[in-house]
Amino acid sequence: MKQRDFGWLAELKAPVLTDSVLLSHCNTSHDAILLTWNQRRVKYSQADAAAMLEMPKSHLSNILSGQKYLPDDLRVPFMWLCGSLALRQFEDKQMADLGIDMELMEAERKLSELKARRAA
């Protein structure tokens, strides 16, 4: 995966949480992507947003129409571009619904790293 330089991120305000009522209408990650897109603070055109995300306009169009997936390395820049954390909130809710404790997973990851360092 190539490293991208999104210098424009520094010029934007941090994305904000989405109202839980709006989020409750999301049944799929595609719904959450559309909610994130529709909440964008600056109404960038698809062409401008695609250029900022360094992808072809047709690819962004396909993502917004549900024909393609938003690449993992573009999820955070996409949320910053839109100014909305709806996609992240939806994903967090999915994990919670599955009974996955993200804080526990993070603590276990850190513990594994510490054990590996100690063994080295």
pLDDT band at 108 (very low <50, low <70, confident <90, very high): confident
Instruction: Give per-residue pLDDT as tens, 18-46.
Output: 999 999 999 999 999 999 999 999 999 99
Q: Give the chain's mean pLDDT.
A: 89
Residue 2 within any structural domain of the chain: no
Going by C-beta distance under 8 Å and a sequence separation of 6 or more, which residues neighbour residue 47?
Answer: 57
pLDDT recorded at residue 2 = 62
Residue 104 within any structural domain of the chain: yes
> First vs last Cα of the chain: how many Å apart?
28
pLDDT recorded at residue 10 = 83
Q: What is the CATH number of the domain that holds 45?
A: 1.10.260
16 DSSP 8-state letter: B
- Is the predicted pLDDT of residue 3 greater than 70, yes or no? no
- Taken in order 27, 18, 36, 52, the sign of the CA dihedral is negative
Residue 51 within any structural domain of the chain: yes
* Structural domain total, the chain: 1
Mean pLDDT across 58-86: 95
The model carries a pTM of 0.78
> 88 is in which domain, residue-wise?
18-119
Residue 11 within any structural domain of the chain: no
Residue 89 within any structural domain of the chain: yes
Residue 52 within any structural domain of the chain: yes
- Taken in order 108, 75, 6, 20, the sign of the CA dihedral is negative
